[in-house]
Amino acid sequence: MPITDLLERNSKLYGEEICLVEMNPDIQEAPRVTWKEYELIQPTAPTPYVRQITWSVFDEKANRVANLLLSRGVRRGQKVAILLMNCLEWLPIYFGVLKTGAVAVPLNFRYTADEIEYCLKLADADVLFFGPEFIGRVEEIVDSIGPSRILFYVGQSCPSFAESYHDATANCSSAAPKILVQDTDEAAIYYSSGTTGFPKAILLDHMALLQSARMEAVHHETTHDDVFLCIPPLYHTGAKMHWFGSLYTGGKAVLLKSNSPKAILEAVTREGCTIVWLLVPWCQDLLAALDRGDLRLEDYQLSQWRLMHIGAQPVPPSLIKRWMEYFPHHKYDTNYGLSESTGPGCVHLGLENIRKVGAIGVPGFGWKCKIVDEQGEAVQRGDVGELCVKGPGVMRCYYHDPKATAEVLKDGWLHTGDMAKQDPDGFYFLVDRKKDVIISGGENLYPVQIEDFLHTHPKIHDVAVIGLPDPRLGEIAAAIIQVREGETCTEEEIQKFCMDLPRYKRPRKIIFADVPRNPTGKIEKPKLREIYGATRLVESQNKG
């Protein structure tokens, strides 16, 4: 069954129920909305403004997009790119693309003009939907991407080099196009994080998308009555596949255009959210606001909030311990995954396993896992090796890159590039990214382990451990430490705290600075290595 069948089913079963809510606390006054398909709720207070649509309108708008694309000659297998901030238009456009049999290509909103051009050409995208935030970047590359690409602008005051999405779809039929889409058809291209140069294009089929929807509902016991709060960007498989749980059950979801602690608690209260997916930095910020007294839980209606789950990066156990002190009734889950495995869930902790916080968990619904050495042989339980996963969500390939595909796909197993180990109970623990392992004086240091330890320091808000060049040891561990707001901390304090670590694991350099994270919450270690690696090299040369 293709993923589009779920949308059509929901339109029939729950047509008049609200399915998507867009909430923007940062807009002081509700904009004028004339598109009749959307219901605008005028706020009684200056913020937030809210737009929402029902399942039947969602399906009708997806059909209009599909019929528009078909009228412009888009056919099965062609690629249609989407460059939008989270908004109500995002998902209907995505599903409209899929209903034609074409392939949706979501783009990272942080891409520069050059990266947008690169990704459009790599995916062979024939059409681009883009929003007002990207007018300048798209205009830069209009001539270079060629006149053959169709540009649809999603917003008001359409630029001269594009067509208005709203005008173009207004006269299109809202009836489902008569296109047979099968679960084996190509569905979407998602891009890797691009931490080692330009990103790779990850090709997924409808079967993989449906697997992720079913798995999300199973893992989190999602029902039709649950309300999912979605904050991360929809271009990323993490946000999209977690939302698929709402699609699978026909439940409501809220697209919150803010990640501030106050906005999160207000959205949970206003919309009755029951499931919230957060990233590590957002959890840290919310806890810090509660610690300082900036927010008080008793000022919000939170009793219906039953599940908080985290993914996208290693989760410090100390963070969850603190979370449960404020929210003792919450169920909790950690989700591990990659875009190459159709997002989160190929490994997950499980709602019943909070005692194992720190582990990424056990194989997800429909998945298998193993840990292998450099020769591809399974290691003994307890030994560190590369995590490999196998299941119905594994990508088809890296599009236009057979060499890179062959490096990670072997006999149906996806080699993740993550180092892990398995405990006696069968739970998998992430040790670190294979490329992030620090080899210092012949010893392997795993930054995540050192980061987890440092996260227990009461003055540390965030931390990243990276390897820096050293003429004697090859590399040394450096800790970039972001101190909590209102606190001061010294290198001597950190060094004293680290005396509880084995000597070889203690960071040899302490740097107090902000810890940069990308939109999905991952620490941008390549950026840190670039910033501090060059400085370290100069220091070493001067000493020599």
| Average pLDDT over every residue of 62-74 | 97
The HSE-up count of residue 143 (CA atoms within 13 Å, CB side) is 1
Q: What is the pLDDT of residue 3?
A: 96
The Cα–Cα gap between 293 and 121 comes to 50
> Under a CB-based contact definition with an 8 Å cutoff, are residues 290 and 297 in contact?
yes
Question: What is the token pair recorded at 321?
Answer: 């311990």
As a whole number of angstroms, the distance between CA 299 and CA 285 comes to 18
d(CA 44, CA 531): 47
The torsion angles phi and psi of 378, rounded to 5 degrees, stand at -60, 135
Q: Is the pLDDT of residue 375 over 60?
A: yes
pTM of the model: 0.82
Look at residue 526 and tell me whether its pLDDT is greater than 60. yes
Per-residue pLDDT at 381? 94
pLDDT of residue 457: 93
Q: Which long-range contacts (CB under 8 A, 24 or more apart) does 522-527 make?
A: 522/193, 522/312, 522/313, 523/313, 523/464, 524/195, 525/195, 525/433, 525/436, 525/447, 525/464, 525/466, 526/195, 526/196
Please determine, looking at this structure, whether the domain spanning 437-543 carries the CATH number 3.30.300.30: yes
**How many helices (H) does the chain have, and how many strands (E)?**
15, 28
Residue 389 confidence (pLDDT): 97
Domain layout of the chain by residue ranges: 437-543
pLDDT attached to residue 215: 96
pLDDT-wise least confident of 217-221, 275-279, 508-512, 514-518: 514-518
Residue 195, pLDDT > 70, answer no
